[in-house]
Chain A
Amino acid sequence: MSGALPILIGGPFAAAMVSFLFTGAIGRALSVLLATASAVAALATSIEVMRSGVQIHALAGWGAPLGIELRIDGLAMLMLLLTAGISLAVTTFAAGYLKGDAQPHFWPLWYFLWGALNTVFLVSDIFSLYVCLELITLAAVGGTALSGDRIALSASLRYLMSAIMGSLAYLLGVAMIYAQVGTLDLTQLSGRLGSSWSSGAALSLVTAGLAMKTALFPLHFWLPAAHSLAPAPISAALSAMVVKASFYVLLRFWFQLSEPTSNQLAAHLLGALGMAAVLWGSVQAALQERLKLVVAYSTVAQIGYLFFIFPLFGGALAAGRSEWAQEAWKGGIILILAHAVAKSAMFLVSGALLQTFGSDRISDLKGAAVRAPLTLAAWGIAGISLIGLPPSGGFIAKWLLLTTAIRQEYWLYVAVLLLGGLLASVYVFRVLWHSFLTPEEMPSVSRIPGSMSISILALTVVLLLMGLRPAIPLEFTLIGIPLPAGDLR
Chain B
Amino acid sequence: MVLDLLLAASLLLTAWRSLYANDPLQAVGLFVAYGLLLALAWARLDALDVALAEAGIGAGLTGALLLGASRHAADRSFSDRIASPMMRAFLAAGALSLTSIVALALWSLRKPRGPGIAPLVSAKLSESGVKHPVTSVLLNFRSWDTLLEIGVLVVAAFSILALRLARSPPRKYDPMLAALVRVMVPILGVCGGYLLWAGSHRPGGAFQAGALLGAAGVLLQLAGYDLLADSARRGFRALLVVGFGTFLCVGIGVSTLGHQILEYPPTQAGSLIFWIELVATISIAVTLNLLYAASGSGAT
Touching in the complex, A and B, CB below 8 A?
yes
Q: In the docked arrangement, what's the CA distance between A205 and B152, Å?
A: 24
- Contact in complex: A6, B145 (CB < 8 Å): no
Residues of A1-51 whose CB lies within 8 A of B: 1, 3, 5-6, 9-10, 13-14, 16-17, 20-21
Residue pair A109, B255 in contact (C-beta under 8 Å): no
Q: Are A6 and B255 in contact (CB under 8 A)?
A: yes
What residues of chain A lie closer than 8 Å to B264, measured between beta carbons? 60
Interface size in chain B (residues, C-beta < 8 A): 53
Query: Please, how many angstroms separate the alpha-carbon atoms of A105 and B109 in the complex?
Result: 47
- Contact check, A182 vs B234: say whether CB atoms are below 8 A apart: no
B152 touches A1 (CB 8 A): no
Check B114 against A198 for contact (C-beta < 8 Å): no
Hey, which chain B residues are within 8 Å of A20, CB to CB? Answer: 158, 237, 241
Those of B83-134 within 8 Å (CB) of chain A: 101-102, 104-109, 113-117, 120-121, 124
B260–A141 touching, CB < 8 Å: no
Task: Report whether B104 and A201 are in contact in the complex, using a CB–CB cutoff of 8 Å.
Answer: yes
The answer to the question of A88 belonging to the interface, with a C-beta cut-off of 8 Å to chain B, is: no
Bound together, the chains give a CA A125 to CA B142 distance in angstroms of 10
For residue A179, CB closer than 8 A to chain B, the reply is yes
User: Is B244 positioned at the interface, with any CB of A under 8 Å from its CB?
Assistant: yes
| Contact assessment for A17 and B115 in the assembled complex, using a CB-CB cutoff below 8 Å | no
Which residues of chain A have C-beta atoms less than 8 A from B159's C-beta?
A: 109, 138-139, 141-142, 145
Among the interface residues B159, B248, B255, which one has the most CB atoms of the partner chain A within 10 A? B159
Q: In the complex, are the beta carbons of A128 and B145 less than 8 A apart?
A: yes
Q: Interface 1/0s, chain A 102-120, versus B by CB < 8 A?
A: 0001101100100110010
Which residues in chain B, 127-161, are within 8 Å of chain A measured between CB atoms? 140-145, 148-149, 151-152, 154-156, 158-159, 161
Checking B108, B149, B155 against A197 with a beta-carbon cut-off of 8 angstroms, the contacting residue is: B108
Contact between chains at A198 and B105 (CB < 8 Å): yes
A33 to chain B minimum Cβ distance, whole angstroms, is 16
Option from A57, A65, A204 in Cβ contact (under 8 Å) with B120: A65
Distance of A461 Cα from B143 Cα, bound (Å): 41
**Residue A54, interface by CB 8 Å:** no
A21–B261 contact, CB under 8 A? no
B74 within 8 A of A: no
CB-based contact A66/B117 at 8 Å: yes
* Alpha-carbon distance between A134 and B159 when the two chains are bound, in angstroms: 14
Select A13's contact among B115, B117, B151, B162, beta carbons within 8 Å: B151
> Is A127 engaged at the interface, CB distance under 8 Å to the other chain?
yes
* Contact A21 B148, beta carbon cutoff 8 Å: no
Interface string of B212-255 (1 = CB under 8 A from A): 00000000000000000000001001100100110010011001
Asked whether B263 is an interface residue with its Cβ less than 8 Å from the other chain, the reply is yes
Whether B259 and A1, one on each chain, are in contact in the complex, defined by CB atoms closer than 8 angstroms, is: yes
Cβ–Cβ contact A109 & B163, under 8 A: no
Q: Which of A192-235 contact B (CB under 8 A)?
A: 196-198, 200-202, 204-205
- Asked if A59 meets B158 with Cβ closer than 8 Å, knowing A135-B148, A180-B109, A197-B108, the reply is no
Main secondary structure of the interface of B (DSSP, over half): helix
Contact of B267 with A by CB under 8 A = no
The size of the chain A interface, using a CB distance under 8 A, is: 61
Q: Decide if A131 is an interface residue (CB 8 Å cutoff).
A: yes
**Is the beta-carbon distance between B117 and A183 smaller than 8 angstroms?**
yes
Please tell me if the beta carbons of B152 and A135 are within 8 angstroms of each other in the complex: yes
Query: Which residue of the partner chain, among A62, A112, A138, A198, contacts B108 with CB atoms under 8 Å?
Result: A198
> Of residues 121 to 168 in A, which have CB atoms within 8 Å of B's CB atoms?
123, 125, 127-128, 131-132, 134-135, 138-139, 141-142, 145-146, 148
Q: Please tell me if the beta carbons of A66 and B124 are within 8 angstroms of each other in the complex.
A: yes
Residues on the A chain within 8 Å of B234, using CB: 21
Q: How far is the CB of B96 from chain A (nearest CB, A)?
A: 14
Q: A17-B244, A65-B120, A146-B162 are in contact. Are A59 and B144 (CB under 8 A)?
A: yes
**In whole angstroms, what is the CA distance A99 to B59 when docked?**
44
CB nearest neighbor in B for A136: B155
What residues of chain B lie closer than 8 Å to A132, measured between beta carbons? Answer: 148
Residues on A with C-beta less than 8 A from B107 are 197
B124 partner residues in chain A, CB cutoff 8 A: 62, 66
Q: A60 near B141 (CB under 8 angstroms)?
A: yes
B300 at the interface (CB under 8 A from A): no
Residue ranges of A at the interface with B (Cβ–Cβ < 8 Å): 1, 3, 5-6, 9-10, 13-14, 16-17, 20-21, 57-62, 65-68, 70, 105-106, 108-109, 112, 115-116, 119, 123, 125, 127-128, 131-132, 134-135, 138-139, 141-142, 145-146, 148, 172, 176, 179-183, 196-198, 200-202, 204-205
> What are the 8 closest A-B residue pairs judged by CB atoms, nearest first?
A142-B159, A105-B162, A61-B263, A201-B105, A198-B105, A182-B116, A60-B262, A197-B108
The interface of chain B, by Cβ under 8 A from chain A, is 101-102, 104-109, 113-117, 120-121, 124, 140-145, 148-149, 151-152, 154-156, 158-159, 161-164, 234, 237-238, 241, 244-245, 248, 251-252, 255-256, 258-264
The contact sample of 29 A-B pairs, CB cut-off 8 A, is: A3-B256, A6-B251, A10-B248, A13-B244, A17-B244, A17-B248, A21-B234, A57-B261, A58-B260, A59-B260, A60-B141, A65-B117, A66-B141, A68-B144, A105-B162, A109-B158, A109-B159, A112-B151, A112-B155, A131-B152, A179-B109, A182-B113, A182-B115, A183-B116, A183-B117, A198-B108, A201-B102, A201-B104, A204-B101
Besides the known contacts A20-B158, A62-B141, A128-B148, 20 further A-B residue pairs in the complex with CB atoms under 8 A apart: A6-B255, A13-B151, A13-B244, A13-B248, A57-B261, A58-B260, A60-B143, A61-B259, A61-B263, A66-B141, A67-B142, A106-B162, A108-B158, A132-B148, A138-B152, A138-B156, A148-B164, A172-B102, A176-B106, A179-B113
